Amino acid sequence: MNLLSHLFLGLTLGEILGLELFEAVLGSVVPDLDYLFGIEHRTFMHSLTLLLIIVLLFYKKNKRKVISFGITYSSHIMLDVLTTEGVQILWPFGGYYTYQFFNSLDLIPNLAVLIICAVLLLNKNLIREKLSEIKPATIRTTVYAALSAVILLSIPAYYLQLSSCKTASLNEVLINPGNYNEACIKTEGIICSEPDTYSSSSGNEYKIFNLCNDNSSVKVWMLTTITDLSLKENDQISLIGVFTTRYLNSSGYELYKIKNVNFSGQHN
């Protein structure tokens, strides 16, 4: 999600829940400061690890401020696990967990967040009145628990996605592309072009290459964080990703939302 969506959601939660506003706004944007510090995007500064460190260091000094920060920090992570890029929430362990609902730069989900927040802010007095009979601590605990549940459930959701992927050769997919459009597939092939690197405006880096099998070929868009392998032309690999015909007219058939890559050998 873009920074404006995160900021607006943090501000909304701060106003509705009566949080410390400065800490609430700060918590909503801190994860994306990884750009400024040269930290790989959506890793340490998007993790529950960092949140735990902050709680351990500052909770006793100012409980209210830490809670305000923690709620909106969690709201940032919650939005990002909904995106295709995912978040390394258990840094330094595990991968990038995600529900893969939409791309972080898609206009509609970002606009939806802004509209929902605007409606809530316009009705904040009414909402506060409705919540006035409930203890503030209970409300904040409930909100934090809900955010945490969404974040943590992205882990089993990710593995459930992997288990539901279809196994198919590139030939099978390209003979009947309509049957596999936007479906997760397990396939294999040879990297038949020199991998190129592309940096998106959201700060993510991709490896782009063609994957071939006999006379079949698709373009692969893979986040560089998916694997530590130094992939090169003529490498034989197997991978799991989503096949799409969306860009057929501009760049051909593609595999994106890559979830896993394994090296099989070198093609001679």
What is the average pLDDT value for the chain, to the nearest integer? 92
Residue 210 β-bridge partners: 219
Query: In terms of DSSP bridges, do strands 235-244 and 196-199 run parallel, antiparallel, or are they unpaired?
Result: unpaired
Tokens of 43: 């890793």
* Tokens at 219, concatenated: 């373009």
Summarised one tens digit per residue, pLDDT across range 171-185 is: 999 999 999 998 899
- Residue 128: count of CB within 10 angstroms of its CB: 13
Q: What whole-number distance in Å separates Cα of residue 98 and Cα of residue 104?
A: 12
Indicate the pTM of the whole model.
0.81
pLDDT at position 16: 96
Least reliable range by pLDDT among 103-117, 216-230, 235-249: 216-230
- The CATH number of 166-266, from 1.10.10.10, 3.30.1360.120, 2.60.450.10, 2.40.50.140, is 2.40.50.140
Whole-number pLDDT of residue 136: 93
Query: Rg of the chain over CA atoms, in angstroms?
Result: 21
Q: What is the pLDDT of residues 117-149, one digit of tens each?
A: 999 999 999 999 999 999 999 999 999 999 999
Average pLDDT over residues 148-163: 93
| Alpha-carbon 82 to chain mean position | 6
pLDDT digits (tens, 9 = 90+) for 229-241: 889 999 999 999 9
Residue type, 50: L
- Listed in sequence order, the residues at least 6 apart from 156 whose beta carbon sits closer than 8 Å to its beta carbon are none
**pLDDT (0 to 100) of residue 268:** 65
- Domain ranges in the chain? 3-163, 166-266
CB-CB neighbours of 234 under 10 Å:
12
Q: Among candidates 2, 64, 19, 46, which has minimal Cα distance to 151?
A: 46
Which whole number is the average pLDDT over 189-215? 87
What pLDDT score was predicted for residue 202?
59
What is residue 174's three-state secondary structure? helix
